Structure 1
Amino acid sequence: MISAVVMPGPGAPLEPRAYERPDLEPGAVLLRTLGSEVCGTDVHLWEGRLAGVPYPIIPGHISVGKVAELGPGASARDIWGEPLEIGQTVTFHDVHGTCGQCWFCTVAHATTRCPERKVYGVTMPADEGLFGGWAEYVHLKPGVHVVALPPDLDWRAFLAGGCGLPTALHAATLGDIAFGDTVIVQGTGPVGLCAMALAQLRGAGQVIAIGGSRVRLQAAGRLGADLVLDIDAMTPDERLETVRDVTGGRGADVTIEATGVPAAVPEGMRLTRDAGRYVVAGQYTDTGDATFNPHRDLNRRHLDVRGCWGSDAGHLWRGVQVLARYQRLFPWASLISGEYDLRDAQRALADVAAQRVVKALIVPRAGRS
């Protein structure tokens, strides 16, 4: 039998569940889970802040595993088009089932908005199978985008970036960060921390982190932030004054919001220079309204505001390449504050919710190798 952790519903205690080994379809893959991240999305799921979730579910949407079994017939292939092999270490894009035919897939080239998309660990019911990473094995349906990890990339370093890395890569790309730009990142969680590293790789001249929680502020310093501002120690006006002092009175060329706090959005607009770029990546759930002045904060200032919703398989592939190339430049693995067995998943979830950790991993005993 295969052990998994199930989230029965919002606020309900996590439960263990045993599964039979699944029968694989042609082109399917069974992964033996090495590790799966615990991220803010999992907290949102437990708090019931995402619509349309078919509870009960097995959480865990970004995972790494070893190929344990391949379905009969046609070989499953990775994103390069190469056949997968037993024992290979891989990750996969959590979004599955985009149709490739709707207007968003074909015209807008925005697969993250495809109405048919399903997401491992989020919108795939636990009653239908092993479709989340908080389990000893994960069943990858035919057509799931699989990315093989380069042999010299530590899988823990990849999970340290986790879902935050492709989301941050999407945001940094939308921000068009140029050489010498001053970049502000609002939020020192995994998305924000990854955005700080990526801003440097894109040539930022100065990176300013704004966030909270001592352990996360320290991580921002380790990842190269030039200035770290503690939201608990300063008022918004004091933060604005500080930013203007270090930017010649202008503000940031690019600001990336990665907080999930509505009030951060109007503040971020004001922290950004006239004709600058503001990317909103952290408003993944509806936590309320925020107010800004369309004339003073947006139009008169010629501000370019861009929304960033999730990531696609291309962002995941690029994220893996960035980690493999620059894993020695940035201490990715140092972001991992704790590893938890399946039976400790409830504690891991609570630690992430309370921001006692930067990154928490679920590492089943079956995956400890």
Structure 2
Amino acid sequence: MTDEHNQLREAIRDLCAKQIAPHAADVDQSPRYPREAVTALQAAGFAALHIPQEYGGEGADAVSQAIVIEEVARVCATSSMLPIGNKLATTGLLLRGSEELKKQVLPSIAAGEAMASYALTEREAGSDAAAMRTRAVPDGDGWVLNGTKCFITNGGESTWYTVMAVTDPDKGANGISAFIVHRDDAGFTVGPKERKMGLRGSPTTELYFENCRIPGDRIIGEPGTGFKTALATLDITRPAVGAQAVVIAQGALDAAVAYTKERNQFGKAIADFQNTQFMLADMAMKVEAARLMVYEAAMAAERGDARLSFLASASKCFASDVAMQVTTDAVQLFGGYGYTTDFPVERFMRDAKITQIYEGTNQVQRMVMARALLK
């Protein structure tokens, strides 16, 4: 870590403690959108650190981006979906989009005036994303989209949506293209919110495209390159999910350490029992290992490392498995109190679960890693 990284961590931790943490429980229990967090992160320039300076962003390195996600998720995983969602939705545009399209979309996100969402998944095309049915056909100087997307993070709150659609059904994955849709485009509507186990304040919706017409210049890259763009995007963004998972685990560990030092049984603090100490030691060891793996993957993305695909999947997979195990152990250490909403560990446990599922299930991550090893 450089001095700049440490200063960034101090700044974002202070912001989170004052403006995000006090609302985290209410955001989860209501549930409601974390307006306070959105306002604070956008005002401080932390909502989209990845956007290059030429488009009004900070152009921060990948580790800095991970630090911001860590510190936000440490107090409220729901609120960390803002920088995660913005990065996921705009990485493909940065990789393959035209200069004109970048200038049209990115400055408003960098300025905190807009947000972005990523629309890949469909009801019958989850892990098998190439089986999507949403279609885009050329129409004069534009495109017309028809279909439905699901499980869209920040659906209804975002201004811009990166949407994958089939443009040539005879070419399979090579017939998929990527587009940018604006929330005001005719024929585009947002469905109702899903009721979820975790990340309850982060809206997750369906998107509907009914003869949705968009300008021709809103395609990302050439027709038929969308699926490759999606895969390249996920290699870059999966470490961000790993960072989120790491600090959900860290938050649970911190709470468990504090609680076990205060909770007395059999005449002494339960932290004084060796079985408790061994649980805490194992939890901390796994969290530190996961964090280092996430940083390594983040820097691999920064360097354009040939091992990126493996490292991205490994960091996301390992960190999210650690998050699920550590949060479950934290609930156990709290005993019956851990199962109540009086303490945050039950929320950490619920929030941790999704990190094993989205941006590719951990079973898919293992397939990616195996393919990289056997290549």
**Structure 1 length as normaliser, TM-score?**
0.26
- Structure with more relative contact order (C-alpha pairs < 8 Å, separation 6 or more): 1
Question: Going by fraction, where is helix more abundant, 1 or 2?
Answer: 2
The structure in which a higher percent of residues are strand is 1
